A and B are shown apart, each in its own frame.
Chain A
Amino acid sequence: MRLSSRGILRTAFTVALASVTLVPAPSLAQNASAPTGDQWIHVRVESKDDGGETVRVNVPVEMAEKILPVINHQNLHNGKVHIDSAHMEDVDLRALLDAVRSSKDGEYVTVQSKENDVRVAKSGGYLLIHVTDKSQGTTNSKSKNHQESKVEIKVPMKVVEALFSAGKDELDVVAALRALSTFGDTELVSVKDSENTVRVWIDSKNIAD
């Protein structure tokens, strides 16, 4: 009788242990397999209007690389965006890119006018595009809300090359993401105007700052 009770207790203990081990197994496995050192793309949009809308999106680059190829919608197919050549206005982007890639660092375009300042440059392996729209808010130029609209884009040249590595009239977004994931923390896009602030950047944190 005593031996049987001990056996029963042992069996009960084993079953209880198995149950406790089995139930949280998936969540433990997920945490254990969480990749480290992954790059995340962050998008933050802040509206300065009365509603004060804020949008924050954080997506792992690797996840975007895997998902984009299986989405086939409108111009996006197999991770590539088809560009309608009619919208290119006879500009051979590929030739333009080749010219920029093979050139030394420097300022390629500088436009200064009453309405806009535009600067396109290549520096330290990055393509830099800065646009300042001075016309915005001129009607309220005396008010405190007057502010120029500034767009700053900083893209690694390797990413631009990857983007244009697909066939003619196509942008290879997946290849660009793959190239992007090899870079460290990078500020990609920054837009500031009187109504919105937009930031797109990449880093290894899974939360926006």
Chain B
Amino acid sequence: MLFLAKAALGMAVALALSAAYVFHEGVIKVDVDEFKGDGSHIHLWVPATAVNLGLEVVPHRNLERAARQVQPFLPALRELAKELKKYPNAQLVDVKDQNEHVQIALVDGKIQIDVVDPQEIIHVRVPVATLEDVADRLESNASTI
């Protein structure tokens, strides 16, 4: 009985620690709803940690190619992510016309991009820390080119 309890506790601890690790950077959320006939509906919740793990397993040459393409923007992206971490919730950009509404905001440490127009609705939420990690990772690959 005691053995079973210890085993259950061990599993619970492992599960709790895994969950804490997986979600400690937050969640990337992507929602896309297209309103045309065969429009797609995509709803994704991905732990931000998965992006870092994904970058670890991506073939080096692919990462190098991506790094080469975005290299001029990487320092700005890294600096932007570093700076954004310091600020409270804020509406950074808001563009609205008769048909379309685009908003970029900082919400609870995440960059939130919302696009609403008659054809589609897109909501993207990415933790700022993930942006910084991705920029660092790509920059380190760019430096090996």
Interface residues of A (CB under 8 A from B): 1, 4-5, 8, 11-12, 15-16, 18-19, 22-23, 25-27, 30-31, 33-35, 38, 40, 47, 50-60, 62-63, 66-67, 70-73, 206-208
Interface residues of B (CB under 8 A from A): 2, 5-6, 9, 12-13, 16-17, 19-20, 23-26, 72, 75-76, 79-80, 82-99, 108-109, 127-129
Taken together as a complex, chains A and B put the C-alpha atoms of A146 and B83 apart, in Å, by 45
| Chain B residues positioned under 8 Å from A4 (CB to CB) | 2, 5
| Chain A residues positioned under 8 Å from B89 (CB to CB) | 206
Taken together as a complex, chains A and B put the C-alpha atoms of A15 and B83 apart, in Å, by 33
Do A31 and B88 touch (CB < 8 A)? Answer: yes
Can you report 13 residue pairs joining A to B where beta carbons are below 8 Å apart?
A11-B13, A15-B13, A15-B17, A19-B19, A26-B25, A26-B26, A53-B97, A54-B96, A60-B83, A70-B75, A72-B72, A73-B72, A206-B88
Distance in angstroms from A208 CB to nearest chain B CB is: 7
Do A35 and B93 touch (CB < 8 A)? Answer: no
| Chain B residues positioned under 8 Å from A51 (CB to CB) | 97-99
| Chain A residues positioned under 8 Å from B2 (CB to CB) | 1, 4
Do A22 and B91 touch (CB < 8 A)? Answer: no
Taken together as a complex, chains A and B put the C-alpha atoms of A8 and B7 apart, in Å, by 11
Which of B9, B90, B95 makes the CB contact (< 8 A) with A12? Answer: B9
